[in-house]
Amino acid sequence: MTRPTLRTAFCDRVGVDYPIVLAGMGPVAGTGDPVATADLVAAVSNAGGLGIIGGVAYSPDRLREEIRKVRSLTDKPFGVDLLLSENFLVPRGDGPLPSLPPPDRLPQEHRDTVARIAKALDIDLAQAPRDPSPMGSWIPKGKSWAGCQIEVLLEEEVPVFASGLGTPGPFQEVLKAHGVTILSLVGTVRAAAQVAADGADYVVAQGTEAGGHTGRIGTLALLPQVMDAVAPTPVISAGGIASSRALAAVIAGGAEAGWCGTA
């Protein structure tokens, strides 16, 4: 007798073996390289889960390279995670491009806190090298950061799109016309209702145990509230899912998959 395999409708829809989704982890605190790069994405997809590229920091050309690298490493489904908050949707005008503030412009209490934590952990503080080119220098006039990246997703026929922030509303029609499955991360019931109304195929209820963009509600408290608010839209659970027992718990609670980051 074969051992039963945990499988949900999500697995059948996106074509994976297990209801496990790699979080699209981008650069930490705005510096360094994304965590969810092609090698990790392909490894997760090859193992039967759904790998997700953390693509928010990539220019369109760099994002295209990463997508193609994933395809060179796996023939399994995968996706791309981007941000759709308002600042990523504003068309570029004639003004200056956004840039990260220099450390001396951060509040002193913030710098003192970082120094205190570093001392407690015996970590040497070092300033990350600054990119000499402005952030988003690749954005053509009249286009937005997210819009340029979405164009690449469509051209490269990426099967799954995840929005780590914001609503998929501005792009849901074109994404669905291309057969893309849309996942939207939220940390509140109100946001869940919004993204479901704006075309999300799956709402990812992300509890405060998760990293990145989270709210203040715990995963097991948030999950049933979101499910009730967005039914019949299916829900994926995120936050603190770091073992098979935790995955089984959220599936038993009604989630169709678990969204896992550093685990």
Q: What is the pTM of this model?
A: 0.86
Q: Are 77 and 45 in contact (CB under 8 A)?
A: yes
Q: What pLDDT is attached to residue 102?
A: 65
**Average of pLDDT values for 203-207?**
97
Residue type at 5? T
Strand order in the sheet with 78-84: 20-22, 258-260, 235-238, 202-206, 181-186, 160-166, 78-84, 51-54
Q: What is the pLDDT of residues 69-84, one digit of tens each?
A: 999 999 999 999 999 9
Q: Are 60 and 148 in contact (CB under 8 A)?
A: yes
Residue type at 97? L
Q: Are 144 and 88 in contact (CB under 8 A)?
A: yes
Q: What pLDDT is attached to residue 215?
A: 84
Asked if pLDDT for residue 162 goes beyond 60, the answer is: yes
Within 122-204, residue ranges assigned H as helices are 145-155, 172-177, 189-197
Within the chain, residue ranges assigned H as helices are 9-14, 38-46, 60-73, 108-120, 145-155, 172-177, 189-197, 219-230, 244-252
State both tokens at 92: 């570029």
**Average of pLDDT values for 158-177?**
96
Q: In whole angstroms, give the CA distance from residue 193 to residue 17.
A: 29
**20-29, 61-70, 115-124, 203-212: least confident range:** 20-29
Of 223, 209, 212, nearest in space to 253 by CA: 223
Q: What is the pLDDT of residues 3-43, one digit of tens each?
A: 557 899 999 999 999 999 999 998 754 456 678 899 999 99
Asked if pLDDT for residue 98 goes beyond 70, the answer is: no
Q: What pLDDT is attached to residue 29?
A: 44
Mean pLDDT of the chain: 89
State percent of the chain over pLDDT 90.
69
Q: How buried is residue 107: exposed, middle or buried, by Cβ count under 10 Å (0-12/13-18/19+)?
A: exposed
**3-12, 80-89, 94-103, 177-186: least confident range:** 94-103
Asked if pLDDT for residue 100 goes beyond 80, the answer is: no
Q: In whole angstroms, give the CA distance from residue 51 to residue 42.
A: 6
State both tokens at 134: 């402005």
Query: Between 206 and 213, where is the model more confident?
Result: 206
Q: Are 199 and 178 in contact (CB under 8 A)?
A: no
**What is the band of 189 on the pLDDT scale with cuts at 50, 70, 90?**
very high
Q: Are 226 and 200 in contact (CB under 8 A)?
A: no
State percent of the chain over pLDDT 70.
88
Secondary structure class of 79 (helix, strand, coil): strand
Asked if pLDDT for residue 146 goes beyond 70, the answer is: yes
Q: In whole angstroms, give the CA distance from residue 202 to residue 181.
A: 8
Q: In whole angstroms, give the CA distance from residue 169 to residue 32.
A: 30
The CB density around residue 55, as the number of other CB atoms within 10 Å, is 28
